[in-house]
Structure 1
Amino acid sequence: MTVAAITTKIVELSQARSAARSKKDEAKGRKENYTNELEELKMLEEEILAREWSACVLGRNKYTTSSIQAGFAFGLQDLARDDAQEDDENFDPSEEPETDAYVASSLPVFCVSSQGYQKLQGHLEGEQVASRFSNLADTGVPALQQHARKIGADQMLADEEAFMNDARRLLTSLRLWSTCTEEAAASYFRDADAEDAVSVIDELVQDIKNRFQTTCTSIQGVVDNRIFRILPIASNTAGDRAMITVERWGKSPKDPVEPGLYYGTFKAVCRRDGTYTNPRRAYNFGEDLLKPLMQKVDVHWNSVFDTALKGRFTNALRDCAEKLENFKGSFRNILKTRCASEDTKTMFEDQSVRFVKSLHRISKDAGKVIDMEQKEANRLFEECIEVAMKSAYRACAEECGTGAYARMKAEMRQHVQGNRDTMFLQAADRVRTELEAMLTKVETTIQEEVDELCSGFRQDCLNFISSNSREFTELEESCQKDILAALDEVDTDFCSLTTSKDINLDPTLQQAFQPDEEVAMAAQEMNRPETPLGTSEEQMMFFEEEMEPLEDDFSD
Structure 2
Amino acid sequence: MRETTLDEGNEQDLAHLDRNIRRIIELQDPAILEAGAARAMQILESFKHTFINCATSRPNVEVTPWTETIATLIPQAQRKRTVIGVVGNTGAGKSSVINAMLNEERLVPTNCMRACTAVVTEISWNNSDEASSKYRAEIEFISPEDWEKELSVLMQEFSSENGTLSHEVQDPNSDAGVAWAKFHAVYPSVRKDALHETTIPDLMLDNSVRSVLGTTKQIHMSHPGSFYIELQKYVDSKEKVSKKDKSKSRTKASSPKTEYWPLIKVVKIYTKSSALSTGAVIVDLPGVHDSNAARAAVAEGYMKQCTGLWIVAPINRAVDDKAAKTLLGDSFKRQLKYDGGFSSVTFICSKTDDISITEAIDSLELDGEIAELEQQSGSYDEQIEQIHRRIKELEESQQVYKLAMESLAEKIETWETLHERLQDGEPVYAPITPLKKRKNTSSDKRPLKRQELQQNFDGEVSDSDDEVSDSDGEVQFQGERLVLSELDVRNKLKELREAKRNARQESTKMQSAIDDLGPQIGTLQTEKGKIRAEMSRICIAGRNLYSKSAIRQDFAAGIREIDQENAAEADEDSFDPDEEMRDYEQVAKSLPVFCVSSRAYQKMCGRMQKDDNVHGFTSVEETEIPQLQIHCQKLTEAGRIQTSRTFLTGFLQLLITFRLWTSENSPDLKLTEKDKQQHLKFLERRMEELKTGFDDSVHNCVKQVKSEVRLQISDRFPELVNDAIEAAPATAGAWGQKDQGGLMWASYKAVVRRAGVFHSTAAGKRDFNSDLVEPIMKRLATGWERTFQRRLPETLNNHIDDLDKLLGKAHKAIEARVRSTGIGLANLSVLRTRLPNYKDGFKAYGVDLVNEMKEIQREANRDFTPCIVDMMRDAYNICAAQNGPGSFKRMKEHMISHVVDARHTMFRKAVQKVEEDLEAMSKTLQKRMEAKASEIFRNMNRDYTCALGNQPTRVLSNEEREMKSATRQILRGIDAQFEPIANGDLSSSKEPVHNSTEGHGGTDDSGQVSFEQADKETNNVPRVLREKSRSFNQAYVEDSMDDDE
Q: CA deviation at 1:450?
A: 0.6
Partners of 1:465 and 1:103 lie apart in 2 by: 53
**2:201 alignment counterpart:** none
Match of 1:487 in 2: 967
Structure 1, 41-50 or 486-495: larger mean CA deviation: 41-50
User: C-alpha distance in 1, partners of 2:579/2:621?
Assistant: 42
- Structure-2 change in CA distance of 1:197 and 1:341 (3 Å): closer
Distance between the aligned counterparts of 2:564 and 2:989, measured in 1? 47
Counterpart check, 1:377 vs 2:863: no
Partner SS state of residue 990, structure 2: coil
**1:331 Cα offset (Å):** 4.4
2:977 aligns with 497
Q: Distance in 2 between matches of 1:10 and 1:210?
A: 124
CA distance in 2, matches of 1:31, 1:354: 80
What do residues 100-132 of structure 1 show as CA deviations (whole Å, max 9, x unaligned)? Answer: 999996565555555655565666666899886
Matched residue SS, 2:863: helix
Is 1:288 paired with 2:768?
Answer: no
1:243 paired with 2:723, answer: no
Question: 1:238–1:292: 8 Å Cα contact kept in structure 2?
Answer: yes
Indicate yes or no: 2:711 matched with 1:225.
yes
Output the CA distance in 2 between the equivalents of 1:340 and 1:74.
63
Matches within 5 A, 1:407-486: 407-468=890-951, 471-475=952-956, 481-486=961-966
Q: Which residue of structure 2 aligns with residue 270 of structure 1?
A: 752
Q: Distance in 1 between matches of 2:543 and 2:517?
A: 38
In the alignment, structure 1 residue 213 sits paired with structure 2 residue 699: yes
Q: Which has the higher strand share?
A: 2
Matches within 5 A, 1:7-86: 10=496, 17=503, 20-21=506-507, 24-25=510-511, 27-29=513-515, 31-52=517-538, 54-56=540-542, 58-60=544-546, 62-63=548-549, 66-67=552-553
- CA-atom RMSD in angstroms: 4.5
Relative to structure 1, is the Cα distance of residues 57 and 186 closer, same or farther in structure 2, using a 3 angstrom cutoff?
farther
Deviations 1:296-327 (Å, cap 9, x if unpaired)?
11111111111111111222333443444455
Distance (whole Å) between structure 2 residues aligned to residue 247 and residue 331 of structure 1: 72
1:270–1:394 CA contact under 8 A, matched in 2: yes
1:212 shift after superposition:
3.1
SS in 1 for 2:868: helix
**1:414 offset after TM fit, Å?**
1.0
1: distance between equivalents of 2:610 and 2:750?
Answer: 37
Change (3 A) 1:461 1:522: closer
SS at match of 2:743: coil
What amino acid does structure 2 have at the position aligned with 1:21?
S
Distance 1:508 1:197 in 2: 48
2:793 pairs, out of 299, 310, 328, with: 310
Contact 2:665/2:947, CA 8 A, preserved across alignment:
no
Instruction: Check 1:137–1:164 CA distance in 2 against 1; reply closer, same or farther (3 A cut).
Output: same
How far apart are 1:480 and its partner, in Å? 6.2
Measure how far apart 1:175 and its partner are: 3.2
Partner of 1:538: none
Summarize the Cα distance change of 1:333–1:110 in structure 2 as closer, same or farther, 3 Å threshold: farther
What do residues 39-74 of structure 1 show as CA deviations (whole Å, max 9, x unaligned)? 314532452254235414542564367447856997
Q: Is the 8 A contact 1:136 1:518 kept in 2?
A: no
Q: Which amino acid aligns with 2:930?
A: Q
**What is the identity, as a one-letter code, of the residue corresponding to 1:225?**
L
The letter of the residue matching 2:654 is L
Which residue type is aligned with residue 735 of structure 2?
A: W
Q: Which has the larger radius of gyration?
A: 2
Structure 2 vs 1, CA of residues 208 and 420 (structure 1 numbering), >3 Å: closer, same or farther?
A: same
TM superposition shift of 1:75: 10
Alpha carbons of structure 1 residues 142 and 7: separation in structure 2 relative to 1, 3 Å? closer
Q: Find the aligned partners of 2:752 and 2:579 in 1 and give their Cα distance.
A: 50
Distance 2:889 2:943 in 1: 77
Task: Give the secondary structure class of the aligned counterpart of 1:283.
Answer: strand
Q: 1:140 to 1:48 in 2, by over 3 A?
A: closer
Contact 2:665 2:950 in 1 (8 A): no
Q: Choose between structure 1 and 2 for higher RCO, CA contacts under 8 A separated by at least 6 residues.
A: 1
Aligned residue identity for 1:231: F
Partner of 1:164: 648
Once residues 375 and 334 of structure 1 are traced to their aligned partners in structure 2, the CA distance between those partners, rounded to angstroms, is: 49
Mapped to 2, the partners of 1:143 and 1:460 lie a distance apart of: 49
Say yes or no: does 1:508 pair with 2:1014.
Answer: yes
Separation in 1, partners of 2:1032, 2:925? 43
1:260 paired with 2:742, answer yes
CA distance in 2 between partners of 1:72 and 1:409 (Å)? 34
Q: CA deviation at 1:380?
A: 1.1
2:845 alignment partner in structure 1 = 362
Q: CA deviation at 1:396?
A: 1.5
State the AA in 2 paired with 1:497: Q
Alpha-carbon spacing, 1:15–1:510, altered in 2? closer, same or farther (3 Å): closer
Following superposition, the deviation at residue 489 of structure 1 comes to 2.4
Deviation of 1:402 after TM superposition, in Å, equals 1.1
Amino acid at match of 1:272: R
Q: 1:170 corresponds to which letter in structure 2?
A: L
Alpha-carbon distance in 2 for matches of 1:107, 1:139:
19
Amino acid at match of 1:36: G
Paired with 1:457 and 1:28, the residues of 2 have a C-alpha distance of 95
Query: How far apart, in 2, do the equivalents of 1:68 and 1:495 lie?
Result: 53
Within 2, Cα distance between the matches of 1:145 and 1:448? 40
State the number of aligned residues: 512
Post-superposition offset of 1:461: 2.6
Give unpaired runs (5+ residues) of structure 1: 528-556
Q: Which has the higher helix share?
A: 1
Does the Cα contact within 8 Å between 2:533 and 2:617 map onto a contact in 1? no
Whole-angstrom CA distance in 2 between matches of 1:114 and 1:311: 43
Change (3 A) 1:123 1:391: farther
How far does residue 370 in structure 1 lie from its aligned partner after superposition?
1.4
| Mapped partners of 1:95, 1:283: distance in 2 | 33
Instruction: Report the AA paired with residue 243 of structure 1.
Output: P
Residue 184 of structure 1, CA deviation: 3.0
The SS at the match of 1:474 is coil
CA distance in 1, matches of 2:825, 2:842: 26
The offset of 1:444, in angstroms, is: 1.7
- Report what 1:401 is aligned to: 884
C-alpha contact 1:62 1:526 (8 A) present in aligned 2: no
Residues 17 and 125 from structure 1, CA distance in 2 versus in 1: closer, same or farther, beyond 3 angstroms?
closer
Structure 1 pair 102–519 and aligned structure 2 pair: CA distance change class (3 A):
farther
Whether the 8 Å CA contact 2:698–2:799 is kept in 1: the answer is yes
Take 2:1031 and 2:943, find their aligned partners in 1: how far apart are those partners?
Answer: 54
Secondary structure of 1:420's counterpart equals: helix
AA partner of residue 752 (structure 2): C
Distance 2:522 2:589 in 1: 51
- Contact 1:149–1:508, Cα closer than 8 Å, also in 2: no
- Which TM-score applies when normalising by structure 2? 0.43
Alignment partners' CA distance in 1, 2:940 and 2:866: 46
Q: CA deviation at 1:22?
A: 6.1
Q: 1:243 to 1:176 in 2, by over 3 A?
A: same
Which residue of 2 is the match for residue 540 of structure 1? none
Query: Counterpart in 2 of 1:175?
Result: 659
Shift, 1:249, TM fit: 1.3
